[in-house]
Structure 1
């Protein structure tokens, strides 16, 4: 892609993909940028700008072919890439992530699950046996995963991430509070801080209508 694409555009692509999937599943074959904008709470010019970053997909006077656009955005997002991924932490959160997220196309293929709890070792999650973390290094050497999902507390993260980066992990989906990007600026990190999100919602829920309007107008 010749032109620079902002991270905000990239972060909107999964939302477009999700909305288009819903439209496709409901039998809608054609949609204009105006109609799509109304459904998504965006502007038609914003949608056209975002799609033009990737060459543009619509036809003048016709709009967008929904199944075709859905497929093209899926290709941009590399949903079929099957990037080898390991998950560290097979507790409640880890099981939920493995069971709900990796059951559909996401661009990643879960190939290994690890936990230091002996009682969990050997259990099967989504057809994958949970291995003790003692086997993590050898597994990575043999299977060469490039992404790790972290679903454990921050206590042991420094040593763990040092080892994973040394073993070739290039990206992290991080559910812990450990700042992987600070320790390893060379890797890609997508942080998911559930409590941060909940506290933000708590603040907004407790704010008055006038306060919310001020927040919105300041964006």
Structure 2
């Protein structure tokens, strides 16, 4: 059980990495792991791992470590992965195609119900069995299909308009790949994935290493 309602975003952003490595350990039939061993896998210190997990309760046992399957399941619940999320993708370009074709999302409970675009040449085609619809149908589709998450893969000049449509239709979660910071109400959660910012960060780190 969570000890506090206030958990830092830094901690939250480390949880998916723990979850991923624990899943790989389960695939390799590893039954238990110590915080030190988990540290070697994740790159975080053993102390940091214990502190992170203690935000949500005590999962390990002194002298035993962590039960891999149990900790994986508990983290899945903490991350909200014990339910299905209905999603839509807006933008059927290369990025929208890639996300629609990534089966791992569906395996973790993120079900793509439809893809939307404005281009006549792609409207009506199917991507992995998912129909591309006219973006004019977006709001009605969301209301009729209880959509939880909208995935924005559009150019930045239309991304706010799309976000407004998602919000007005009742969507509470937006995964935004457009290079623009969106304005949404406080009860809507946005996760921005700015690919250029990540690349620029890599460029900086590479420059620093070269200049040593």
| Same fold, TM-score > 0.5, yes or no | yes
- Work out whether residues 172 and 189 of structure 2, in 8 Å CA contact, stay in contact via their aligned partners in 1: yes
After superposition, residues 7-22 of structure 1 pair within 5 angstroms as 7-22=9-24
Q: Distance in 2 between matches of 1:50 and 1:57?
A: 11
Offset from partner CA, 1:45-65 (integer Å, 9 cap, x none):
111111111111111211111
Query: Which residue among 109, 112, 116 is the counterpart of 1:110?
Result: 112
Alignment partner of 1:173: what SS?
strand
Q: Which runs of 5+ in 2 are unaligned?
A: none
- Work out whether residues 77 and 107 of structure 1, in 8 Å CA contact, stay in contact via their aligned partners in 2: no
Q: Which runs of 5+ in 1 are unaligned?
A: 212-219
Offset from partner CA, 1:44-90 (integer Å, 9 cap, x none):
11111111111111112111111121111112112232122111001
Quote the RMSD (CA, aligned, Å).
1.8
In structure 2, the partner of 1:214 is none
Q: Distance in 1 between matches of 2:103 and 2:186?
A: 26
In structure 2, the partner of 1:197 is 198
In structure 1, the partner of 2:189 is 188
Cα deviation, residue 101, structure 1? 5.5
Cα deviation, residue 113, structure 1? 0.9
Q: Distance in 2 between matches of 1:134 and 1:166?
A: 14
Query: Which residue among 142, 152, 155 is the counterpart of 1:153?
Result: 155
Cα deviation, residue 210, structure 1? 6.7
Which one is further off, 14-23 or 196-205?
196-205
After superposition, residues 77-156 of structure 1 pair within 5 angstroms as 77-100=79-102, 103-156=105-158
Offset from partner CA, 1:154-179 (integer Å, 9 cap, x none):
12223222222111111110000222
Give the direction of change, closer, same or farther, for the CA distance of 1:186–1:72 in structure 2 (3 Å limit): closer
Q: Distance in 1 between matches of 2:180 and 2:187?
A: 16
Moved over 6 A (4+): none
Cα deviation, residue 199, structure 1? 1.5
Q: Distance in 1 between matches of 2:209 and 2:104?
A: 39
Q: Distance in 2 between matches of 1:106 and 1:134?
A: 29
Q: Distance in 2 between matches of 1:139 and 1:127?
A: 17
Give the direction of change, closer, same or farther, for the CA distance of 1:156–1:209 in structure 2 (3 Å limit): closer
Cα deviation, residue 14, structure 1? 0.4
Q: Distance in 2 between matches of 1:186 and 1:73?
A: 24
TM-score (structure 1 length as normaliser): 0.88
